[in-house]
């Protein structure tokens, strides 16, 4: 594991424990060269996934990119981080259990929207505005009207 401070590959594990939902192992490490402390997570990966973009390009699935997108939508929202982690883990498990290695990017976006809708409405609308590429205020109005009608 490369140290995030000095890029050394020499580190020692000082503490290991499972995460609360038992889907990963959290390891506290200390760099042998600079003494920096950092945390790593080890997760089970059932299969290699590839994201099929709208442009036709294929890229490896990146859980960290998914996490960053969700955290951006949730910025300044009071949401339990463990709940968010469970949602992300659930999305990844759904994708891995599909039986196919290629996942359309639109399917990932819809899974994230479904998850955010259950967690926080504001984050749901924020994510939708990027995912659906809102260009004008009317796009927001139409979307809010659409979800308002769906709840009735």
* pLDDT tens digits along 116-141: 999 998 998 888 888 777 878 887 77
Q: What share of the chain is helix, strand, coil (3-state, %, to 5)?
A: 45, 20, 35
pLDDT for 54-113, tens place per residue? Answer: 898 999 999 999 999 999 999 999 999 889 989 998 998 889 888 777 899 989 999 999
Q: Distance between CA 29 and CA 27 in Å, rounded?
A: 6
Residues ≥6 apart with Cβ < 8 Å to 115: 70, 87, 88, 90, 91
Residue 41's pLDDT is 84
The residue-averaged pLDDT of 44-59 equals 84
Q: Distance between CA 152 and CA 149 in Å, rounded?
A: 5
Domain parsing of the chain, residue ranges? 1-44, 46-151
Q: Distance between CA 109 and CA 119 in Å, rounded?
A: 15
* pTM flag (> 0.75): no
């Amino acid at each position: 594991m490369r140290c995030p401070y000095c890029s050394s590959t020499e580190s020692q594990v000082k503490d290991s424990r499972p995460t609360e939902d038992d889907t990963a192992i959290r390891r506290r490490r200390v760099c042998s060269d600079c003494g920096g402390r950092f945390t790593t997570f080890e997760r089970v990966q059932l299969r290699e996934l590839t994201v099929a973009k709208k442009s036709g390009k294929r890229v490896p699935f990146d859980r960290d990119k998914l996490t960053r997108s969700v955290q951006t939508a949730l910025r300044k929202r009071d949401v339990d981080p463990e709940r968010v982690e469970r949602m992300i883990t659930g999305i990844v498990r759904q994708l891995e259990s599909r039986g196919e290695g290629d996942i359309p990017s639109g399917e990932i976006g819809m899974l994230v929207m479904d998850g955010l809708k259950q967690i926080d409405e504001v984050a749901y609308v924020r994510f939708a505005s990027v995912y659906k590429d809102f260009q004008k205020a009317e796009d927001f109005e139409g979307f809010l009207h659409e979800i308002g009608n769906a709840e009735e």
